Each structure stands twice: as structure tokens, then as C-alpha cells.
């Protein structure tokens, strides 16, 4: 049996991919089913599935165009020799610029050590009692010659250097910049300084797997892994964007065709009680329902006698009541003893699961 891992992922394929939300919902939450085939992969309720994403081809093309490369340039990454196109598709994170990459630009922008001869001149009009008067001033370029209110000598005049100095001296500004920009955005600010293919990728983060709580029991859904995934879509700086992994799974993985690298990420602590008679209280708003669907499937198939109390919530009952039919079935059969629901946009007051827990504090304590 192969030892599947993040360095040696199993090539799975989707067998199901559908939206859980009702029409009119502001969210896009999908139910995804991965086929484990003959991989021999095993898991337990509470484990996570690691997914290896690929960068979207349209973003790869945008980045190549912005950096004036064809994509066939030879480069080296942590995975070895490859082409630039493959590197920014499968090896590196390009959907969000890294701090290390920004910091590395400092050696290539204008340096403080470069001698510059400056002559400053300014003409401005001053109002007087007898009328207006033009006043000229010129300086040698020394700070002590500059009248009050003039810019200090040696201040950066390249907008890219000004921006770089701001980012590297202000942690909040740096965080905001990194959070909302990818490398196409960054090249619009810094691309004029020019890059070799090596310089472009140096400082980029390695492409990392994304972990998702498994929403199925292996005994209830043999040979498959189910996920409940919120698809991230947003617009920034005039461009539409998606989450790297969620967009990959939602938009670019054809059923039974596209290979997706996956591996199991076991948990040691987030597990069901060994004693099936133990009562459980579960709190899983939104896609947090995923592991508790797995728990309820497992306790159902085990025939566990312990009581189950689930708190769930989201924006609206009509749009985001995930797995409603399953929950109703479990309630009817006594698998789910209590099911408290919080809908934050259905009433005048916003109600969240913590409000329901506070309201039922005594019962929770005594459960």
C-alpha cells in the first residue's frame, strides 16, 4: 500500500459537486465527494482531508503578461528544475503576494547610498498690501538650505520606492497590502524595476495544501470522502478573484476527470468518545457542520446510545440550512435528540449560536 502524504498525494477525482444553498442565498457552499478508489486511504470521523490546489490558468497568464515572460523560462524551485509556467501553477502561491517578496525589492529600488546632486527651485506668489509679489528661492540641495514647509532633501521621488518605504515601516500598511493583492497587483506597483524569471519567483511562498474537516464517516460512506466547503469569491482592485483551493475545486475540477492530489490529516484530540453511551454537545455554525455530520453518521451506524445535541446556525433558514433532510431523519429516528438553530438574518435581532448556548446554559451544564 502506498504511503500517501503531502509529499506523495493520492490522485483522487470528484464523484459529486453540488451547491447546498437554496436559490437566492448570498453564499456558495458546496458538497464535494472524493473517490478514494484503490488507494487504501483510511480515516475516522474528525479527521481532515488535505487538498493540493493548482493556481488558476487565467491568473498564471495574467502574471506572465504582467512580467513580460512567455512561461517557458527555466527556473529552480524547492521541487527542482522546471519552467516558469509550471512553477507558478503547481509549485508556488501567486494569489497573494508575500512579505518576503516585498522586502526583497529594497535592494533593487533607489538606495540611500547612491550620491545624488540636487538643485531645488521654486517660485510662488505672495499677497502684499501693495499687490502680489513673485518670490524666487533656490537651494544647493542641503537640508539646512530648505525653507520651512519644503520637502526634505533626498526624499524618494520614485512612487515605487515611496510605497516600499511606507510598507516596510508600517506593519499595518504591510498587512493590508499583502492581504488584498496578488503578484499581478504587485507588479503594477513595482514591475517597472524589471525582473529576471529567478527574481520574480524568489521570495514567493511555496504552494501549501488546504485542510478541510471531513463531513462523512468512513463506515457510512465507504470508499469516499465528503467535504462541506464555502467557496470564496470576491473582487479587489478591479479584478474578480476566488479562493485558491475553493475556486479550483468548484470551477476547474470536472466530475470523474480532473485529478486532485489529496492526503489524510488525522486528528488526535478532535474525536468521538470511545464510550458510545457518552452524551455529546456539538456546535457547528456554517461549514462548521462538517465534522458533526461525520460524528452523527458514525454514531448512527454504531448504534450508540449516548444523546446528541447539535447547535447550528447561519444567515437564513431558507438559504443555508445544510443537510436538512438528513437532520430531520436523525431527529425522527432519535439519533439527534436536540437541534437548536440560529438564523442571524431572519429576524429583527441577529441571533447566533452563542446566544442559544447562553440561553440554554443550565441545560448544557446538566446534559
pLDDT given at position 211: 98
* pLDDT at 359 (0 to 100): 96
Q: Note the pLDDT of residue 153.
A: 45
Rounded Cα–Cα distance for residues 9 and 148 (Å)? 64
pLDDT, position 119: 47
> What string of DSSP letters covers 276-316?
TTS-EEEE--GGGGHHHHHHHHHHHHHT--S-EEEEEEES-
Which residues on neighbouring strands pair with residue 126, listed in sequence order? 133
What residues contact residue 262 under an 8 Å CB cut-off, 6+ apart?
A: 4, 9, 10, 12, 34, 41, 49, 50, 51, 52, 225
34 near 215, Cβ under 8 Å?
A: no
Chunk the chain into consecutive blocks of 10 residues (it has 367) and report each block's average pLDDT, rounded to whole numbers: 88 98 94 98 98 97 97 97 98 97 88 47 52 51 52 62 94 96 97 94 97 98 98 93 97 98 97 97 96 98 98 96 98 98 94 96 95
Cβ atoms 161, 109 nearer than 8 A: yes
- Name every residue whose Cβ is closer than 8 Å to that of residue 77 and which is 6 or more positions away in sequence: 87, 91, 92, 201, 206
Could you tell me if 253 and 14 are in contact, meaning their C-beta atoms sit under 8 angstroms apart? yes
Q: What DSSP state is assigned to residue 145?
A: G
Instruction: Enumerate domains of the chain plus CATH numbers.
Output: 10-55+207-265 (2.40.30.10), 61-110+156-201 (1.20.990), 280-366 (3.40.50.80)
Q: Which of 312, 208, 250, 223 is nearest to 32 (CA)?
A: 250
Output the pTM of the full model.
0.85
Amino acid at each position: 500500500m502506498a504511503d500517501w502524504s503531502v509529499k506523495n498525494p493520492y490522485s483522487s477525482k470528484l464523484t459529486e459537486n453540488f451547491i447546498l444553498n437554496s436559490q437566492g442565498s448570498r453564499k456558495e457552499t458546496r458538497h464535494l465527494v472524493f473517490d478514494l478508489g484503490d488507494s487504501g486511504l483510511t480515516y475516522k470521523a474528525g479527521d481532515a482531508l488535505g487538498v493540493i490546489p493548482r493556481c488558476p490558468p487565467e491568473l498564471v497568464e495574467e502574471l506572465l503578461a504582467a512580467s513580460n515572460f512567455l512561461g517557458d523560462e527555466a527556473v529552480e524551485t524547492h521541487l527542482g528544475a522546471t519552467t516558469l509556467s509550471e512553477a507558478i501553477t503547481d509549485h508556488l502561491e501567486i494569489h497573494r503576494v508575500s512579505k518576503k517578496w516585498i522586502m526583497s525589492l529594497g535592494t533593487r529600488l533607489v538606495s540611500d547610498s547612491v550620491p545624488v546632486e540636487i538643485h531645488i527651485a521654486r517660485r510662488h506668489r505672495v499677497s502684499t498690501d501693495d499687490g502680489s509679489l513673485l518670490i524666487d528661492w533656490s537651494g544647493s540641495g542641503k537640508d539646512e538650505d530648505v525653507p520651512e514647509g519644503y520637502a526634505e532633501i533626498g526624499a524618494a521621488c520614485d512612487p515605487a520606492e515611496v510605497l516600499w518605504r511606507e510598507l516596510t515601516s508600517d506593519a499595518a500598511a504591510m498587512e493590508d497590502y499583502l492581504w488584498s493583492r496578488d503578484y499581478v497587483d504587485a507588479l503594477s506597483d513595482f514591475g517597472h524595476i524589471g525582473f529576471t524569471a529567478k527574481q520574480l519567483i524568489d521570495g514567493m511562498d511555496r504552494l501549501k495544501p488546504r485542510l478541510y474537516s471531513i463531513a462523512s464517516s468512513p463506515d457510512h460512506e465507504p470508499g469516499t470522502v465528503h467535504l462541506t466547503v464555502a467557496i470564496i469569491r470576491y473582487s479587489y482592485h478591479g479584478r474578480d478573484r476566488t479562493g485558491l483551493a475553493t475556486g479550483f475545486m468548484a470551477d476547474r475540477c470536472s466530475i470523474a476527470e480532473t485529478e486532485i492530489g489529496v492526503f489524510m490529516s488525522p486528528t488526535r484530540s478532535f474525536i468521538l468518545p470511545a464510550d458510545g453511551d457518552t452524551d455529546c454537545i456539538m456546535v457547528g455554525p456554517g461549514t462548521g457542520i462538517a465534522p458533526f455530520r461525520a460524528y452523527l453518521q458514525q454514531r448512527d451506524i454504531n448504534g450508540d446510545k449516548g444523546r446528541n445535541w447539535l447547535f447550528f446556525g447561519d444567515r437564513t433558514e431558507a438559504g443555508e440550512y445544510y443537510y436538512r433532510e438528513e437532520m430531520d431523519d436523525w431527529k425522527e429516528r432519535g439519533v439527534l435528540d436536540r437541534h437548536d438553530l440560529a438564523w442571524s438574518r431572519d429576524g429583527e435581532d441577529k441571533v447566533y449560536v452563542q446566544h442559544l448556548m447562553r440561553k440554554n446554559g443550565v441545560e448544557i451544564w446538566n446534559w
